[in-house]
Amino acid sequence: ILATPVFAKDLDPLVEVTKLTPTIRLDMRYATPDNFLHRAVYSKPTCLLHKSVADRLALAQKRLAVQGYGLKLWDCYRPHAVQVEMWALVPDDRYVADPKKGSRHNRGAAVDLTLVDTQGQDLEMPTAFDDFTEKAARASKSAWTPQAQQHYEILNAAMSNEAFSPLPSEWWHYDAPAWERFAILDKPL
């Protein structure tokens, strides 16, 4: 059962992030087979977020650019139907939200991302994306290489400065403030 919408979409619509901030890079993993489902579950590689969330992300990108870095996005808005598929494969709420409650991604208020250099090249980070092990947890910093720790701290500072909250079990996942005010959506991409 989906939650009742609590925020009018016309007040804060979903927007395509790269139209707002063209310097953000995309590697939308769920539009390819390079993900834990081993098949594409999105029809196109696009990143949709509520405008207020995308605006915060644009500020983080701007902050990082001054330092010689940038963002690469792996996942943004996720249709609820995809959440159901993910839960069927990994029913562990440390890594995949229970579709009965809905995901922050289903609300267009969460982002999975990494840090890149000015040419868009991936930088060393703690683990690969969708690593469902303890090593991906933010509390596992002592197990990360010094370079991965440094890059994580740069990414985390940029996101925290724009009021994004980290998910403890995944170094790459950030929630927008007041994410719970947005409705769970099942709009196809």
In angstroms, the first-to-last Cα distance of the chain is 21
CA 84 to CA 86: how far, in whole Å? 5
Residue 109: closest CA among 24, 15, 4:
15
Q: Any catalytic annotation for residue 170?
A: yes
Sign of the Cα pseudo-torsion (38, 40, 42, 48, in order) = positive
Cβ atoms of 37 and 30 closer than 8 Å: yes
Contact 127, 135 (CB under 8 A): yes
Q: In what order do the strands lie in the sheet with 25-26?
A: 25-26, 69-75, 110-117, 170-175, 165-167
Closest CA to 97 of 173, 30, 40: 173
Strand 170-175, strand 165-167: pairing: antiparallel
Residue from 16, 124, 162, 170 carrying the catalytic annotation: 170
Catalytic annotation, residues = 170
